[in-house]
Structures are given as C-alpha cells and as structure tokens.
C-alpha cells in the first residue's frame, strides 16, 4: 500500500514538474532580464530585483498589441464556430442511430489527416478569391477546422455520459425536445462545453503555421512573434513566450472547478 502511495506521489510530482518547470524557466527569463537568461545554474528563486523592464520592452515592440487583438479575435471566432457546429454534431452522434454514423465519426478524425502544409497554397488562393485572406475571420475559420473535430468528439462523449432517461423524464414532465435539451441536458453538459470552448480558444491562440501563411499585415500574435522575435535578444524572446503562455494558464485556472465537476458527472 505504501509503495502504491509512493508511486502515486512520485507520479504527481513528475507531472507537476513536467508542466511547471518550463513555465517557470520562461517566466524567469521574462522577468529576470539579460543577466538571468545568460546565467547558469539558474537561480531557484526569482531574483530579488524582479524587473518588468523586459516585459515592458517586449510590449513596446510596435504591433504586439494589435496582433494580440487579432489573435483574440480569431480565437473567439474559432471558439464560437466550434461550439455552434460541434455541439449539435456531438449530440447527434451521441443520441441518434443513423446510417453511416461510424463512417461519419471516422471522417471527423480524418479531417486532421491532411497536413496544413499541403493545404496552404490552395487555401491561400481560395481565401484571396473570397476576400478572407489576411483577415481574422479567415484565420478563425482555418482554426475552426483544427478545433472542430475535438469539439465534436468531446461533446459526443459528454452527451453520452448524460443518461438518456433524464431527457425522457423531461419529455414526460411536459418538455418539448428542444426545451428538454435546454433545461436538462445543456445545464449538465455546460461544464464540458465550456471546457471544449476554451480548448478551441487555446488551439487557435497557439496555432502558428496557418496563421503565418494566411496573414500579411493582420498577423496574429504567434505569427507576428515568429517573424519579429527571431531578430530580438534572448530575454525579449522569453518575454514573448511568457505572454503567449499566460492566456492558456489563466483559462485552465478559470475552468479548473468546472472541469472537476464535469468529471464528477461522468463518474456518477
């Protein structure tokens, strides 16, 4: 028993280190300035003269704020599309038996089988024709295709975890199918849907290849940093990386509780 416990605790420590050490090192480089970035071994605690000078230096690079705004715009669009299209599709997969359901499931996963690199040129040409090239909407649409398969499959398993009987009870007690969904199924699925939405947001926020191909002047933050930071000193690069991490970390903390309650429902 104690051995199992020790293994359990070791696992937790390793997992924590796995996620937090890189974040810590990047943060250290971001706030520590030039000296910390070049020093070795790294100080365990943040330096006493904690300075946000590097961060300010980074945020003063022209175009960072506007590209961050484009990033948010594209990510919100990606999130909305993924939820609006993915949740109904997931519900259909979870609740209805229809011919070709298995093939459909496979096709969803297959959308990820095409490398974006191959699609880049036709996509660019198509987007130019449609007037979507170099717009946050175009990037958002592109990112939706990346996030949508996850949204569909995750929400399908979400709805599968909600007993069908609950919905049937709602119908018997006077709800139309739509009302039953809104009053009974959706509240129960909401934590998971929120997590899916945030996942879609983070996918879009982190994506760099398609974003750099599809934009020129309205670059998202990742694409912009890719082109700008290669010419900046190391500590500024760290600051850029840190800024990129912040939203993902913040979002996970925000939905932490909801994530747990989602697992609680799945376990019942």
**Spatial distance between the Cα atoms of 59 and 205, rounded to a whole number of angstroms:** 17
Nearer to other proteins, 221 or 255 (CB): 255
Distance CA 139, CA 7 (A): 44
Report the C-alpha gap between 152 and 193 in whole angstroms.
Answer: 10
Q: Establish if 176 lies at the interface with other proteins (CB under 8 A).
A: yes
CB of 183 to other proteins, least distance (A): 8
183, 225 in Cβ contact below 8 A? no
| 266 touches other proteins by CB under 8 A | no
Per rule CB under 8 A, is residue 265 in the interface with other proteins?
yes
CB of 166 to other proteins, least distance (A): 5
40 HSE (CA, 13 A, CB side): 1
The size of the interface with other proteins (CB under 8 A), counted in residues, is 17
CA-based nearest residue to 80, from 158, 137, 160: 137
Residue numbers 124-163 binding other proteins by CB under 8 A: 163
CB 189 within 8 A of CB 159: yes
100 binds other proteins (CB under 8 A): no
Single residue of 169, 216, 234, 246 touching other proteins by CB under 8 A: 169
Nearer Cβ to other proteins (120/175): 175
39 three-class SS: coil
Binding site for other proteins (CB under 8 A): 163, 165-166, 168-176, 184, 187-188, 265, 268
């Amino acid at each position: 028993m104690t051995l199992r416990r020790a293994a359990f605790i070791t696992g937790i420590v390793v997992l924590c280190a796995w996620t937090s050490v890189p974040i810590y090192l990047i943060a250290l480089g971001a706030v520590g300035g030039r000296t910390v970035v070049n020093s070795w071994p790294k100080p365990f605690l943040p330096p006493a003269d904690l300075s946000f000078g590097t961060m300010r230096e980074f945020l003063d690079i022209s175009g960072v704020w506007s590209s961050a705004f484009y990033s948010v715009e594209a990510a919100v669009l990606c999130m909305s599309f993924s939820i609006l299209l993915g949740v109904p599709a997931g519900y259909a997969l979870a609740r209805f038996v229809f011919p070709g359901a298995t093939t459909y499931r496979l096709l969803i996963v297959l959308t990820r089988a095409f490398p974006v690199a191959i699609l880049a040129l036709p996509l660019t040409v198509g987007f130019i024709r449609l007037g979507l090239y170099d717009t946050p909407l175009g990037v958002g649409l592109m990112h939706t295709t990346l996030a949508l398969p996850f949204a569909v499959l995750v929400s399908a398993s979400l709805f599968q975890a909600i007993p069908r009987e609950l919905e049937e009870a709602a119908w018997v007690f006077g709800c139309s199918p739509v009302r039953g969904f809104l009053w009974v199924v959706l509240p129960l699925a909401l934590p998971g849907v929120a997590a899916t939405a945030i996942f879609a947001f983070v996918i879009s926020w982190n994506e760099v290849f398609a974003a750099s191909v599809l934009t020129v002047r309205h670059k998202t933050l990742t694409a912009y940093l890719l082109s700008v930071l290669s010419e900046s000193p190391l500590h500024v690069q760290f600051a850029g990386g840190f800024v990129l991490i912040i939203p993902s970390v913040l979002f996970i903390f925000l939905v932490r509780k909801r994530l747990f309650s989602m697992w609680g429902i799945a376990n019942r």
